[in-house]
Amino acid sequence: MSKELDLKTPLEMLWQWESTKPNAVYLSQPKDGQWINYTWKQVADEVRAMAGVLQAYGFPAGSKIASLSKNDAYWIISDLAIMAAGYVSVPMYPNLNETTVGQILEHSEAKAIFIGKLDEAPWKEMKPGIPKDIVTISTPLWGPKEYDNWNDLTAQHPAITDSPVQPINDLASIIYTSGTTGMPKGVMHKYFNFSYVGTHALNYASVALDSKFFSYLPLCHIAERLLVEIGSIYSGGKVYFAETLESFPANLQHASPNVFLAVPRIWDKFQQKILAKMPQKKLDRFLKIPILKNIVKKKIIAGLGLSEASNVFSGAAPIPASLIEWFKTVGINIQEAYAMTENCCYSHVTLNNKIKIGSVGQPLKYVDVKISDEGEILIKHKALMDGYYKEPEKTNATFEDGYLKTGDQGRIDSDGFLYITGRVKDLFKTDKGKYIAPVPIELAICGNPYVEQSILIGNGIPMPIALLTLSEEGIAANSQAVKDSLSKTRNTINPTLDHHEQVAKYIVLKEPFLVENGLLTPTLKIKRNAVEKKYMENFKSWYNTDGDVLVES
């Protein structure tokens, strides 16, 4: 056991569960419609076996080992094997382009890479970015056949025989950010940070021992990794995975997790799915009938697979207050979480009994938060990043008197609840020289059920305009009905804004913002710079065209 705060590292937790409940299922992986189960003992055996393989290559202690895969059981097993071998993990998004893959592997100086479950088209694009001289290991179940196979390698090399525990202040992982504005930065986290968060966050959020988790968001992202991998290993829980996008609903229903995280766009999809089966007017009518109200709520919650969920989170991006309020009417209390890679996903969360809609909650235990004179949110605790790998200047610029500069603007109310009011770098000036914080306005616009995504633009024009993409409901609706609804939303929101913030036009775009077209990050955040660059030549003509709602021709 590590001395500092009596924290245990992830490997210590693995060996503990292997010893105390070896035959309990830890990872449950669907493949071809069948579930493959891995017990704690089996996972520990696989970890020791692959640690032996990695050490057989003779890499120096602390070498970087990358992982490129969608979520599956071997993502977690390989991550633990990297720890057991004494190396540093470099997780990568499974939908990058060739250039970014090459940049990350070169910048991190990765000696080896695990290649696992990948979709054919992204893999074809990423593969040329992998250097020829890097050791490449194909994981079981889905890994490409052209590389050395995990099972063949573990059969050829002896497994380690001990239960290693790395020093708690050693570097554990370099997590590259999703890159909304350019080359990803490598955020360094040591074992202490994972231990600290795994111990305190689970206690604060009252996550029970033996909890069930469902993994489908990218595990390379700090939120999913901390919630699912670290959360399960510190609670002795069980992890279920999604096999495909098509099987996701059935996989989630099968898992029926106790802890569930979704990003706002997925909550929006869930809402659309529910309303497609039960239109809003019909739902409202049923919810007003006492004898039917609870039956309808239970059916909706069961249909999503959340009947056993006691902790239901939204994170990674702001969520419209209207969406949280809507889910509350059907019996789902969404707890909004606010954190970032640099603070090891440990900052703020709303608890079930302490929810203020519109706020991201109160600080987690031992978190010190304050607002700078410029309105920026500053965070301090013991699990902040060690810095950006090989980027001391950027690291120094990110800290102020020991506080992490989040880049977010916000305010704190008298009860200590934090409200996000925008991003510092997202502020823009109109031609009139007035600054606008776009995020709150964008969230308000997304309260319209016909809107999927919105982004406010104001460079080079007197008043801002909003670029919109339609939801499935919006696409299916009559075009005039959509225009009328958007016009009503504009006329409702504008009077609540200062004059210079009021939106002159709503522009309905033909093409959605996607990861594939470069307008979304792998974590589904809009790349503001990329959107502006793509549509910039149209801003003035759109602004000067008559009408308050325009459809891209």
SS (HEC) of 122-171: HHHHHHHHCCCCCEEEECCCCCCCCCEEHHHHHHHCCCCCCCCCCCCCCE
* Residue 207 CA, distance from chain mean position: 19
CA trace torsion 354, 358, 362, 363 (10° rounding)? 140
Pairwise CA distance, residues 347 & 339, whole Å: 5
User: Would you list the domain boundaries of the chain?
Assistant: 4-239, 259-307+310-424, 427-551
CB burial string 168-201: b at 16+ within 10 A, e below:
beebbbbbbbbbbeeebbbbbbbbbbbbbbbbbb
Three-state SS at 518: coil
pTM score? 0.83
What CATH class has 427-551? Answer: alpha beta
CATH topology match: 4-239 vs 259-307+310-424: yes
- Cα(471)–Cα(492) distance, integer angstroms: 20
Which tens digits make up the pLDDT trace of 183-197? 789 999 999 999 999
Q: What is the DSSP string of 175-190?
A: EE---TTSSPPEEEEE
CATH 3.90.930.60 given to domain 4-239: no
Distance CA 119, CA 243 (A): 12
- Per-residue pLDDT tens, the chain, 553 aa: give them: 444 457 899 999 999 999 999 999 999 999 998 999 999 999 999 999 999 999 999 999 999 999 999 999 999 999 999 999 999 999 999 988 888 899 999 999 999 999 999 999 889 989 999 999 999 999 999 989 999 999 999 999 999 999 999 999 999 999 998 655 557 899 999 999 999 999 998 877 778 889 999 999 999 999 999 999 999 999 999 999 999 989 999 999 999 999 999 988 889 889 988 998 888 989 999 999 988 999 999 999 999 999 999 999 998 777 888 889 999 999 999 999 899 999 999 999 888 767 788 889 999 989 999 999 888 999 999 999 999 999 999 999 999 999 999 988 899 999 999 998 877 777 666 665 666 778 888 888 988 889 988 999 887 788 889 999 998 888 888 889 999 999 999 999 998 887 778 899 899 998 888 878 888 877 677 888 788 888 888 888 898 898 899 988 7
CATH level 2 (architecture), domain 259-307+310-424: 3-Layer(aba) Sandwich (3.40)
